[in-house]
Structure formats: structure tokens, C-alpha cells
């Protein structure tokens, strides 16, 4: 019987970049902030962490530093996704070697493989590295989605722990739950889907918003896990407009901007990501004021 990697709130951490590279001391402060805010797990080197523009050396060092500094206080999950299967395997092997608790593997973007290709892509890594894997389905980013039948096949592998579901396709989510049950744990991949997905059996969220407000997202998950969806919905409604504003431009532009506005050192953005437009900045500031963060 499988055990979920975590329950509750998992933060997809931003990477504090500067002109010289990565500010590892600020990364450590960000990890401490997450622990103090009640976060259960962190993802390092995910999309929110700008993994697409990290060198291999930066990727390896980020995972190593995160594991060492977290020191068992939270679950550490390393993003290993790639459209190059061999590269994903290499990153999984590194994550295992430095002591990460699990890996997060996105569908192969741009290649647009078939469902058979997806199965072989994920199994190629899962067969070769004994570490819990969370699949990541985000077709808006990658151009390809995972079917419920593919989930069912993958769920039979002992190293495939669950999925970060960011498709917002509740028919797919319902069918996946029916086909896989507890052979495949489910986590929301969107902050605005957390409450309904947890009502359908998800165990928490892999969150962008929790970079900014970790206690809020942790509390939201706690309420859902306890079955108090009335209180969870009330809390969500308070922050719904902010959660939406954090995706007003491509992630992680808004969340890094919001953190900076609130006095947190989020570092710079790395090209091709650029500063937020003035129009969107005004909207974001308004949403931060509404929940007394500014």
C-alpha cells in the first residue's frame, strides 16, 4: 500500500536570482519562512523556480542546498521534468543521491508524445530510480495532457506516488479517482482549484500563492483535510482575487513581484521573463491591499 509523500500545502518555491546567479542565502531564508508558515513540503526547481533557464550546475546545487537546509523539517521534492527522457533520468538520479524525498516530473513539452509515449517516458525514469515520483499534468504549459487511462496504467508502478493535476478538468479528475483510487494520490496544481479538488479526494495543493502567504494556504488545506469545507470556502473567498491575480501574467512574474512589494526578497526574473506591465502591477497592488498585505 502506497503512502502519500505529503498532505497539506506544498510550496512550489521561487528561485531568488541576482545578476551573479542564485542567492543561496536568501533561498535558505525562504525555506525557513515556509517551515514557520506551516508548509508541509517544498518543490525546488519547478516551473515557479524558473527551472527552464537554470544551468545543470545550478539545478544540482539548488536541490542539494534545499535538502541540506531543510534537514528533514519538510518534504523536499525536486523538479526533474524535461522533454529529454534521459535528462529527466539524470536529474532524478541526482535528486536521489543528495537525499530528496521525491521528484516531480512534468509531461514532455513540445514533443507532444502519444499516451503510449507518456507511459514509456515516465516508466523509463520510475524503473531506474527508487524514489517517489509525482507526475505533473499541466497541458496549458506543455501542450499535452495525461488521460485517466494513462494514469491508471502508471498508478500500478510502486515508485509513482501521485499527480499534480493542473488541467482544471474536473471530469478527468473524477474519472482518475474512480479508476485509480489510492493507487495514485492527487494534489491540486492550481491554487484556485484547491477546495473543489480536495472535496474530490485530493490531499492538498502544490501552490504558487504559498510563496507569499504560507500560513493561509496551509490553513486552507488543514480545513479541507478536516472536512470543514464551509470554513475552507470562506477562507478561499477572502483570497480568491489575489490567487487569480498571481496568474495575471506568466508565473512566476506576479508572485515574485508580489513578494517584492510585500518586502520579501524574491530576486530578479531571468529572461525571457520580464517585469510586469504597469496595468497588471496596479491590479496586483489592489489585490494585495484588499487582504492587508500592503
Q: Which are the catalytic amino acids?
A: 136, 164
Cα–chain center distance at 100 = 15
284 neighbors 257 (Cβ within 8 angstroms): yes
Long-range pairs, 179-185, Cβ under 8 A, ≥24: 179/148, 179/149, 179/151, 179/152, 179/155, 180/148, 180/151, 180/152, 180/155, 182/1, 182/2, 183/2, 183/155, 183/156, 184/151, 184/152, 184/154, 184/155, 184/160, 185/2, 185/4, 185/5, 185/161
From CA 185, how far away is CA 162, in angstroms rounded?
4
R_g of the chain computed on alpha carbons: 18
From CA 12, how far away is CA 269, in angstroms rounded?
16
Cα–chain center distance at 261 = 22
The dihedral over CA atoms of 154, 179, 12, 35, expressed in degrees to the nearest 10, equals -110
CB contact set of 228 (below 8 Å; sequence gap of 6+): none
Amino acid at each position: 500500500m502506497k503512502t502519500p509523500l505529503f498532505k497539506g500545502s506544498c510550496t512550489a518555491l521561487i528561485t531568488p536570482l541576482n545578476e551573479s546567479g542564485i542567492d543561496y542565502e536568501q533561498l535558505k531564508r525562504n525555506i525557513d519562512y515556509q517551515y514557520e508558515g506551516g508548509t508541509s513540503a517544498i518543490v525546488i526547481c519547478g516551473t515557479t523556480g524558473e527551472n527552464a533557464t537554470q544551468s545543470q550546475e545550478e539545478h544540482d546545487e539548488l536541490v542539494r542546498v534545499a535538502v541540506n537546509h531543510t534537514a528533514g523539517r519538510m518534504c523536499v521534492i525536486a523538479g526533474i521534468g524535461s522533454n529529454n527522457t534521459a535528462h529527466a533520468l539524470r536529474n532524478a538520479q541526482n535528486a536521489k543521491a543528495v537525499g530528496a524525498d521525491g521528484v516531480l516530473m512534468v509531461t514532455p513539452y513540445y514533443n507532444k508524445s502519444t499516451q503510449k509515449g507518456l507511459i514509456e517516458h515516465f516508466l523509463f525514469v520510475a524503473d531506474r530510480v527508487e524514489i517517489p515520483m509525482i507526475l505533473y499534468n499541466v497541458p496549458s504549459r506543455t501542450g499535452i495532457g495525461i488521460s485517466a487511462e494513462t494514469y491508471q496504467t502508471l498508478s500500478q508502478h510502486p515508485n509513482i506516488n501521485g499527480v499534480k493535476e493542473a488541467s482544471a478538468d474536473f471530469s478527468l479528475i473524477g474519472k482518475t479517482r474512480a479508476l485509480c483510487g489510492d493507487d495514485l494520490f492527487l494534489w491540486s496544481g492550481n491554487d484556485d482549484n484547491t477546495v473543489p479538488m480536495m472535496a474530490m479526494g485530493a490531499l492538498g495543493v502544490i501552490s504558487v500563492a504559498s510563496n507569499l502567504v504560507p500560513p493561509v494556504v496551509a490553513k486552507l488545506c488543514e480545513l479541507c483535510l478536516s472536512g470543514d469545507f464551509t470554513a475552507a470556502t470562506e477562507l478561499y473567498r477572502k483570497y480568491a482575487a489575489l490567487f487569480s491575480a498571481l496568474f495575471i501574467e506568466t508565473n512566476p512574474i506576479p508572485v515574485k513581484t508580489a513578494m517584492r512589494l510585500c518586502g520579501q526578497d524574491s530576486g530578479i526574473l531571468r529572461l525571457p521573463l520580464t517585469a510586469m506591465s504597469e496595468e497588471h502591477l496596479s491590479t496586483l497592488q489592489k489585490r494585495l491591499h484588499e487582504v492587508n498585505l500592503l
